[in-house]
Amino acid sequence: METDKANSAEGKKVCGYYLSRGKARSADVLLMPYNYILEKKIRTNSKIETAQKIIIIDEAHNVEAVCEESSSHNLTRRIISMARDELGEAKIKFDKEKESIDIITTPRKIETIINGMKKLELVYAQKYNEYGKQEGKNFDISELINDAERNGLMRNTNEIWKNLTKNVSAYFASSQRKTHLSGKNFELFAYMMEELISIRNEKRHHDYRARLCKDNNDRFGYNLNIWCFNAKYAIKDLSEEGAIYNLILTSGTLAPMQTYVDVLGLDESGKKTIQFQNQHIIKSEQLLAVTITGYEKTEFRNIYKNRNNDDMFLKYAKIISKIKEVAPGGCLIFHPTYKLMRKSLNIWGINDYSATFKNMFKVPVFVEPENKEETIRVIENYERELEHDEKQGAILNGVCRGKLSEGIDFKDSRARVVIVTGIPYPPVEEPRIKEKMDYLDKRIKTKSGELSGREWYKQGKSLKL
């Protein structure tokens, strides 16, 4: 579909993006990544109207993480600095025209905001030098709100920040002057300020954490992160913009469903939630599920401390070979990460195209590429081999949560066997994971939550972060 749009746009010598935007106004059905709907800034910029619309979200097991991310922010010192410069440059135009953006956002008010942004940038530069340079530091969101308050940035309403964003963006969109500024940095800063004001006004403090750490792309900079751990706010923002006719969530892995209803706050608006769950299409007697814990005195635990254990990866290959000897058709192998897939393939001697047909498995072996167009070709070649000799079959390697693991129907002989060599759990000591687990544990103690941090991690929901 994207290719059709591009070809259509090229033939008409127009921009494909604006062609799609124009056609969307009269379309009955719109297909898009669902973060376009759930993330307020994308929804606003793309002018997506949701009132009285039916919204269907497929693969909805990822919704919780997308909703949390939509209320989270990551600003570097460079972004804050450039945001201030963008507002300053736009202010020159406002001064020349001697007009206010609205009744209260006068040029003098804008100057106060610019000064406040400069002070906030320097405050966190000092804090970074004091305690954030090494491993970074997590802190309560109230500290950031208080710092913004002291520097005059919290006196403004969300409406003021919205108007500023609109006018700064309009200035750069119409400006003929060549500059490295675009208005996008100010937009990011303004969205953060809107979030902070909502946190303060609605007393959301307990659902957020902040972190100050090193900016790996700037030796003199820092990263200022705001993490939201409550997915309800994104759904709340979506419903407040206009009454949605229906919100339908679908996925093969939503059970237990009530957990998603609670986490997303779907029943808090007083509207009825209808839950519908089918039995799996494959009958239990047709499916064999096995956990293999080791082979020939080698333990199978694809965890960090075993990542350099080449013998474990070789024993994986022996097991796969034995399975393939008795299993016809296609065999899908999913690795935890692209890095571990490449490591496995190197140990197995499948490191160039010639190994596709000459390898230790004695069947054609294909590998998921990182390029979307090549992925289609690889799948076609894999299926062609299965059609050529279904009994011998073929092997297709992919990555958990990669392009092959979701949204593709490997039916019948295309997947007689599915092997997962490890689950891509993130490090439990990773700052955001650690903060989320701590947040959930505190909710258990205050009886405002039912899922502990450890249970959340074991359920695999940390994978979405």
> Which CATH number is 284-420 given?
3.40.50.300
Q: What is the pLDDT of residues 277-322, one digit of tens each?
A: 888 778 888 888 999 999 999 999 888 788 889 999 999 999 999 9
* Residue of 166, 165, 160, 148 lying closest to 226 (CA atoms): 148
Sign of CA dihedral 128, 129, 135, 137: negative
Q: What is the pLDDT of residue 387?
A: 94
Prior bond to 336 cis, omega within 30? no
Token pair, residue 223, equals 């990263």
- Cα 57 from Cα 462, distance rounded (Å): 20
* Residue of 211, 229, 180 lying closest to 78 (CA atoms): 180
- Cα 211 from Cα 127, distance rounded (Å): 11
Give the position of tokens 């593709």. Answer: 408
CA distances from 341 to 53, 368, 415 (A): 42, 9, 19
CATH 1.20.1250.20 for domain 73-229, yes or no, is no
The answer to whether 370 and 339 have CB atoms below 8 angstroms apart is no
For the chain, the structural domain boundaries read: 1-30, 73-229, 284-420, 431-464
Instruction: Provide, rounded to the nearest whole percent, the portion of the chain with pLDDT above 90.
Output: 45
Give the position of tokens 């906030």. Answer: 120
Between residues 227 and 95, the one the model is more confident about:
227
Centre a 10 Å sphere on the Cβ of residue 98 and count the other Cβ atoms it contains.
Answer: 7
Residue 419's beta-bridge partner residues? 333
The answer to whether 19 and 1 have CB atoms below 8 angstroms apart is no
Q: What is the pLDDT of residues 58-85, one digit of tens each?
A: 888 888 889 999 999 999 999 999 999 9
Q: What is the pLDDT of residue 155?
A: 87
Token pair, residue 338, equals 């692209």
C-alpha of 236 from chain center: 19
Stretch among 105-114, 264-273, 437-446 having the lowest mean pLDDT: 264-273
Contacts (Cβ under 8 Å, ≥6 apart) of 321? 360, 361, 362
The answer to whether 19 and 5 have CB atoms below 8 angstroms apart is yes
- Cα 323 from Cα 368, distance rounded (Å): 21
What's the mean pLDDT when you consider all of the chain?
A: 86
The answer to whether 92 and 116 have CB atoms below 8 angstroms apart is no
pTM over 0.75: yes
Q: What is the pLDDT of residues 226-236, one digit of tens each?
A: 999 999 998 88
